[in-house]
Amino acid sequence: MRTILFLLQKEFKQIFRNRAILVMISVMPVVQLMLLPLAANYEVKNINLCVVDHDHSTTSQKLINKITSSGYFKLTGNASSFQAAFPLMESDEADLILEVPQHFERNLVREDEQKLFVAVNAINGTKANLGGAYLGSIIRDYNRDIRLEWNVPGRFNAAPVIDISSSNWFNPLLNYRVFMVPGILAILVTMIGGFLTALNIVKEKEVGTIEQINVTPLRKHHFILGKLIPFWVLGNVVFTLGLLVAWAIYGIVPVGNLIVLYVFVGVYLLAVLGFGLLVSTFCDTQQQAMFIMFFFMMIFILMGGLFTPIDSMPEWAKVISRFNPVSYLISVMRMVILKGSDLHDVRAHLGIVALFAVVLNGWAVLNYKKTS
């Protein structure tokens, strides 16, 4: 037990003497939590719209006004023909081209039906889909408006109508930042814990001090505990810092119990540190460790459900994501912080993450050799 105290003293002194690490644990969470949620906004707005109006009627003018005043679309161009409008799409000045056919107004009255042509730049599929959908709903609204305005016979009202009322629980304003912040916090805790542990041990290898440690009677598990505890503490510090930033900047206060959060993060950190430890046992240089860590982190983050829903992934990818510790933290963070889930609600997640901690650390200990 005393030996561990000596180890801890040494590690903490080294950490606090290392400027790079201090910057990493203090600046990174703040900067990332400030920048990422601002930038990571999937809400589609400011869609650039180019209009080709062959009709030039009041109806077409009103429709265009309605579209541009919706807040989703920005009128960036008017063209006399589709051919003239297309270069705007090529140069990304228009995401969407709306073409109103000639005699639109006249034919709408005469034939009771008229078509509008919409071309969407679909390189970004999501944006295209949403943009198309917004435009569709605005046109539908407009359609209803003119029916009322032009006062068509009441036969329409006789049709049965299903009234849909929807309520959005846990985030009634559909604020996207509220959704991103806990996820980003999860990534931060993971990155700091994993990278620091892996780099730290590999650095001792690279510099040669680990050899000196290996000839001492120091027990294997003492050495590993001596490495884990400081980074476990740091991970919690970063987490706390992140919670404070979330509260100060975004006003996000966990709905659920803080103790549940800390219990889960505590167990989770053990798993992530174990992973860092494991990587370090396979590497000889910091460069290697960093790259291998980065490789896995990238897979973990991309497949962890931070940006895209796990439910939508194909079966094989879902199976992989079950072995991804990050996905559990991201979902628990969101559950507890946004929905107020309690320990009982996250028990399955907790169990799996605890299992990860045991397996990863066990593997790392077995792999860490004092002799060659």
Partner 1 sequence: MAETVIKTDKLTKRFGDFIATNGITFEVHKGEIFGFLGANGAGKTTAMRMLCGLSKPSSGSAEVAGFDVYKQTEQIKRNIGYMSQKFSLYEDLTVAENIRFFGGIYGLSNADIKTKSETLLAQLGMEGEAKKLVGSLPLGWKQKLSFSVAVLHRPKIVFLDEPTGGVDPVTRRQFWNLIYAAAQDGITIFVTTHYMDEAEYCNRISIMVDGKIEALDTPRALKQRYNTTTMDDVFYQLARGAKRNE
Partner 2 sequence: MKQFLTFVRKEFAHVLRDRKTLLILFGMPVVQILIFGFALTSEVKNSRVLIVDNANDVASRQLLTKIEASQYFEVDRSVMSPLQMEAAFREGEIKMAIVFPANFNEDLLHQNQAHVQIVTDASDPNTATSLTNYVSSIILDYQASLNQTLSVPLRILPETRFIYNPQLKGVYNYVPGVMALVLMLVCVMMTAVSIVREKETGTMEVLLVSPFKPVLVILSKAVPYLILSLVNVGTILLLSIFVLDLPVAGNLLLLLAESTLFIITCLTLGIFISIKTDSQQVAMLISLMGMLLPTMIFSGFMFPIENMPVPLQIISNIVPSKWYYIIVKAVMIKGLGFSAIWKETLILAGMTLFLFVISLKNFKIRLA
343-372: contacts with partner 1 (CB under 8 A):
370-372
If one asks whether residue 190 binds partner 2 (CB under 8 A), the answer comes out as no
Report CA 92 to chain centroid distance, whole Å.
Answer: 26
Residue (3 or 288) nearer to partner 1, CB: 3
Helix, strand, or coil (residue 51): strand
If one asks whether residue 165 binds partner 2 (CB under 8 A), the answer comes out as yes
| Binding-site member from 43, 92, 141, 211 for partner 1 (CB under 8 A) | 211
| 84 touches 39 (CB < 8 A) | no
Of 10-18, 231-239, 262-270, 357-365, the segment contacting partner 1 by CB under 8 A is 10-18
| 142 touches 63 (CB < 8 A) | yes
Residue 7 contact, options partner 2, partner 1, none, Cβ 5-8 Å cut-off depending on partner type: partner 1
State how far the Cα of 339 lies from the Cα of 132, in Å rounded to an integer: 32
In the structure encoding, which two tokens stand for residue 179, read together?
Answer: 């959704």
Q: Measured from the CB of residue 214, what is the shortest distance to partner 1 in angstroms?
A: 6
Q: Which string of x and - marks every residue 181-210 that binds partner 1 (by CB under 8 A)?
A: --------------------------xxx-
Q: What is the DSSP code string of 230-279?
A: HHHHHHHHHHHHHHHHHHHHH----SS-HHHHHHHHHHHHHHHHHHHHHH
273-312: contacts with partner 2 (CB under 8 A):
282-283, 285-288, 290-292, 294-295, 298-299, 302-303, 307-309, 311-312
Q: Measured from the CB of residue 2, what is the shortest distance to partner 1 in angstroms?
A: 7
Residue (344 or 369) nearer to partner 2, CB: 344
Q: What is the DSSP code string of 319-369?
A: HHHHT-HHHHHHHHHHIIIII---TTTTHHHHHHHHHHHHHHHHHHHHH--
Of 9-17, 123-131, 264-272, 301-309, the segment contacting partner 1 by CB under 8 A is 9-17
| Binding-site member from 46, 78, 81, 209 for partner 2 (CB under 8 A) | 46
Residue (28 or 237) nearer to partner 2, CB: 28
State how far the Cα of 98 lies from the Cα of 65, in Å rounded to an integer: 13
| 99 touches 67 (CB < 8 A) | no
Residue (19 or 155) nearer to partner 1, CB: 19
If one asks whether residue 151 binds partner 2 (CB under 8 A), the answer comes out as no
Secondary structure element (H or E) that encloses residue 53, with its range: strand 47-53
| 73 touches 26 (CB < 8 A) | no
| Binding-site member from 16, 42, 247, 323 for partner 2 (CB under 8 A) | 42
Residue 324 contact, options partner 1, partner 2, none, Cβ 5-8 Å cut-off depending on partner type: none
Residue (24 or 343) nearer to partner 1, CB: 24
Residue 120 contact, options partner 1, partner 2, none, Cβ 5-8 Å cut-off depending on partner type: partner 2
Report CA 40 to chain centroid distance, whole Å.
Answer: 7
Sequence-distant (6+) residues with CB within 8 A of 281 are 201, 364, 367, 368, 369
Q: Measured from the CB of residue 117, what is the shortest distance to partner 2 in angstroms?
A: 5
68-107: contacts with partner 2 (CB under 8 A):
89-92
State how far the Cα of 314 lies from the Cα of 302, in Å rounded to an integer: 14
211-270: contacts with partner 2 (CB under 8 A):
none
State how far the Cα of 202 lies from the Cα of 289, in Å rounded to an integer: 7
| 205 touches 282 (CB < 8 A) | no
| Binding-site member from 152, 213, 258, 358 for partner 1 (CB under 8 A) | 213
Binding site for partner 1 (CB under 8 A): 2-3, 5-7, 9-10, 13-14, 17-18, 207-209, 211-219, 370-372
